[in-house]
Structure 1
Amino acid sequence: MNLFDSLENSNKQVPLAETLRPKTLDEYLGQNQVVGENTAFINLLRSGRLFSCIFWGPPGCGKTTLARLIASNTNSEFIELSAVNSGIKDIKDCVEKAKENLRYNKKTILFIDEIHRYSKTQQDALLPYLENGTFYLIGSTTENPSFQVVPALISRVQVLMLQPIDDDNLYSIVEKGFKYLSDKHGPIVLKQQVIDFIVKYATGDARLALNLVENSYFAADFKDNTRCLSLEILESLAQEKRIKYSRQEHYDMASAFQKSMRGSDKNAAIYWLAKMIAAGEDPRFIARRMIVCAAEDVGDADPNAFNIAVNAHKSVELLGLPEGRIPLALAVEYICDAPKSNAAICAIDEALDDIAGGLDYPPPMHLRDAHYKDAKKYGFGKGYVYTHDNPEYKQQFLPDELKDKRYFK
């Protein structure tokens, strides 16, 4: 390290979240389903077995920290890349370093943050080295790997889903943050409602919580060598929180929204509607899901529900937001309160399954097109009875092979 590096490091303001990053697995809070006692993951680590994996979870849930702890617990070299600013050249450099480590009986872990941002070519470049054991890969992503990571790479790693930090552990993290700052910079007076606010605001994101702890500590009123942090100061500092809404959450919210309407729970449906609107979802997409629900789940039990949903779509196109939220809410209420029938979707799907399964037959001769001169010569249309002329006459419309089939039960 030269003089300039030393000056750079001394002038850095290291964030509290980085300072308090756990150094051992015992300090690691949350993710008990992964790192709890006698879990498969912990047993593998204790046996000294490394494996390639991808940590999938929301921001601030401990993905990077867990990767670093794996490296330290297995005495492996930890090489960290960000998919945002690295590429194939960096991967090749890691390969050379990993090969050198193997000569000294040392394992290498290549950690790639935001691995979903790598292109297919960049992801494919990892495959041969995973195959031959040159290094172990740990990727982290906030996006569903099934959508963002190539299948060839998915098949070579274990995907571990991490959850947002639970409130109990988040309380411990927040309290630890304030204690560290108090010990280093002086005491602070705060009420329990301040900690409650931070935990609620962070919604499982430890990094966000510690950033707010740090900023609010130094923003607090300072008098007689003591800081005093009020809820008002904290609220003004936090202001409006950005709603977490990844591609995966886009699908999850839409699924919860439609299932709530199907289940006739208008309170749940209006909540998911509000969450999608607050996250900036396209209101036309929301309205399209309502049209689908009205057709699929209400159907002929109340055909007007379909008209209501279509008109809601037209309304949001005309009004936009925020006014468009009102017709959307009205349509949600109507669809939820309407009686339900899935007869139409069941009928069409059963018919499609029959055709796909080989029950693919031509129309009976009397139903075939007979409007042209030579049609009669082929027997097309012969025996067809115009229904309006004889509405009581029973004639066959299905193929002979399916004449007794009933798709609508």
Structure 2
Amino acid sequence: MLMLKNVLDQEPVWLRSEEYDQIWMLLEMFMESSLPLSFSVVAWGGPGTGKTSVAKSIMANAKSIWNNLETIYLNSISEKGFGLFKALQQIQDLGGYSAAELLENLERSRTKLFIVIDNAEVLMEERLVQAILRIGEAFPQGGFFTLMLFKSINRPVNVLSATPPIYLIYFRPYNFDEIRRILDNVVKNCKNCFFSEKALDTISKAAGGDAELALMILKASLNIAGGKNVDETHVSKVLESLLENPFEYISGRLYDLHAKMILRILSEHPQGISLRKLFEEYIRLTEMNRVKPLGYTQLWKRIRIMERRMLLNFEVVNLKDGRTSVVRMKCISQAMNL
């Protein structure tokens, strides 16, 4: 039976050779420069477009080439700003120092630091993004290469307020042929199972350029088929299930318990729900699960973060009592252009 463990690692980085080469060229310039420079790279694209795979591959290769380079990977969803602080402490084996003191120490040591910050859109409300993009201004002696990955289809930040040099890289959605090549690459390692051409074509079309979604549909179709022969019928059952309950797919990508609660409420209100009503149902859920709730303003901020991650739609409806925010979950059928 096909084991799709670490599915993102199955995604061939060579399909993103242009983006890989751009980032690698900038990293080479950074490492070989004798001037005190800090580089900032902002990379963005929709979900499942290879951002994390490329970043992790570059980190691994860079570490094997440059001995004077330290690397840090942070997932903003689970670690936020504290993860960077802990990583800096571990690198320097120093405790009891502030983040600024740790960075100053690195600056003096001439050790160069390559920092990858994944899901950086989560940090927007805390204004940490702009602070990180201005690291070269705070530490003019340089030594910091930051690669920030945003799950967004639009350019996520105002680069005019950042300290140069700053570089922008867009990860476009995969096209049909690229998704199909990813699936073929995984399927060829499947023992004692078979995928029909129509099944693979249907998955490739349904994924809408999202490799992670394509792999998830592939795995679910294989499970429905009992781990053996998968045809278009099995794929259609998976797609029907996703259309009926998109929460099942989206929730699997989330580590934030509050975000999961929000999406569960929205899955029960496909036509949308007012923000105040959503807050009331959210409070009930937190009480049932014995979770400390977010305040009204905090919940609104969390929803805006989810909007940036393309999980939600917003509308402002003119009612008699004024303007009211109505929240809806994005319909996964928009990505499944069947």
User: Shorter-chain TM-score category?
Assistant: 0.5 to 0.7
1:89-125 Cα deviation digits (max 9, x unpaired):
3333344437677788653222112212213442344
Q: Are 1:78 and 2:71 an aligned pair? A: yes
Corresponding residue for 1:190? 195
- Matched residue of 2:129: which SS? helix
CA drift of 1:156 comes to 5.2
**Structure 1 residue 221, shift from structure 2 partner:** 4.0
Query: Which of 113, 116, 121 is matched with 1:116 structurally?
Result: 121
Give how far 1:150 is off: 7.2
What pairs up with 1:134-153 in 2 under 5 angstroms?
134-143=143-152, 148=157, 151-153=160-162
Q: Which amino acid aligns with 1:51?
A: F
Preserved CA contact (<8 Å) 1:123 1:150: no
Query: Does 1 or 2 have the higher relative contact order (CA < 8 Å, sep 6+)?
Result: 2
- Summarize the alignment of residues 86-235 of structure 1 with structure 2, pairs less than 5 Å apart: 86-96=79-89, 97=91, 106-118=111-123, 119-127=125-133, 129-131=135-137, 132=139, 133-143=142-152, 148=157, 151-153=160-162, 157-180=166-189, 182=190, 186-221=191-226, 227-235=228-236
CA separation in 1, counterparts of 2:87 and 2:158? Answer: 20
Question: Residue 63 of structure 1: which of 30, 35, 51 is its match?
Answer: 51
Change (3 A) 1:14 1:197: closer
**Letter in structure 1 aligned against 2:54:** L
1:85 and 1:15 mapped to 2: Cα distance? 21
> Matched residue of 1:61: which SS?
coil
Provide the C-alpha distance between the structure 1 equivalents of 2:47 and 2:14, rounded to a whole number of angstroms: 16
Distance 2:195 2:11 in 1: 24
Aligned pairs (5 A) from 1:295-306: none
Structure 1 residues 127 and 30: CA distance shift in structure 2, 3 A: closer
CA distance in 1, matches of 2:162, 2:116: 14
Given residue 84 of structure 2, which amino acid in structure 1 is its aligned partner? I
Q: Deviations over 1:246-302 (max 9, x none)?
A: xxxxxxxxxxxxxxxxxxxxxxxxxxxxxxxxx8664969xxxxxxxxxxxxxxxxx
Q: Deviations over 1:125-150 (max 9, x none)?
A: 42564443242211111236755567
CA contact (8 A) 2:111 2:143 kept: no
Mean Cα deviation higher: 231-240 or 42-51? 42-51
Preserved CA contact (<8 Å) 2:39 2:164:
no
SS at match of 1:29: helix
Does the 8 A contact of 1:165 with 1:205 survive in 2?
yes
**Shift in CA distance, 205/176, structure 1 to aligned 2, threshold 3 Å:** same
TM-superposed CA distance for 1:83, in Å, is 2.3
Describe the SS at the equivalent of 1:28.
helix
Identify if the C-alpha distance between structure 1 residues 280 and 40 changes in structure 2 by more than 3 Å, giving closer, same or farther.
closer
Q: Residue 209 of structure 1: SS of its match in structure 2?
A: helix
Are 2:239 and 1:238 aligned? yes
Partners of 1:21 and 1:215 lie apart in 2 by: 17
The Cα shift of 1:168 comes to 1.8
| Contact preservation (8 Å) 2:4, 2:219 | no
Do the aligned partners of 1:166 and 1:204 also contact (CA within 8 Å) in 2? Answer: yes
Name the SS of the counterpart of 1:85 in structure 2.
helix
State how far apart, in whole Å, the 2-side matches of 1:280 and 1:40 are.
33
CA distance in 1, matches of 2:154, 2:165: 13
Judge which range, 149-158 or 131-140, deviates more.
Answer: 149-158
The alignment-based identity, stated in percent, is: 20
Gaps of 5+ in 1: 1-12, 244-278, 286-409
What residue identity is the alignment partner of 1:210? L
Higher strand content, 1 or 2: 2
Which of 9, 18, 27 is the equivalent residue of 2:8? 18
CA RMSD of aligned residues (A): 4.0
Matched to 2:219, the amino acid is E
CA 1:40–1:87 in 2, change beyond 3 Å: closer, same or farther? closer
Change (3 A) 1:187 1:70: same
The alignment partner of 2:194 has SS state of strand
Contact (CA 8 Å) 2:179, 2:204: kept in 1 or not? yes
Distance in 1 (CA, whole Å) between partners of 2:157 and 2:28 is 31
Quick one: which amino acid aligns to residue 152 of structure 1?
A: S
Contact 2:11–2:211 (CA under 8 A) maintained in structure 1: no
Q: Secondary structure of 1:53's partner?
A: strand
Alpha-carbon spacing, 1:144–1:211, altered in 2? closer, same or farther (3 Å):
closer
**What is the TM-score of this pair, normalised by structure 2?**
0.55
Q: What SS does structure 1 have at the residue aligned with 2:15? A: coil
- Please state how far the C-alpha of 1:200 moved relative to its aligned partner: 0.5
Residue ranges of structure 2 left out of the alignment (5+ in a row) = 33-37, 64-68, 93-102, 248-311, 319-338
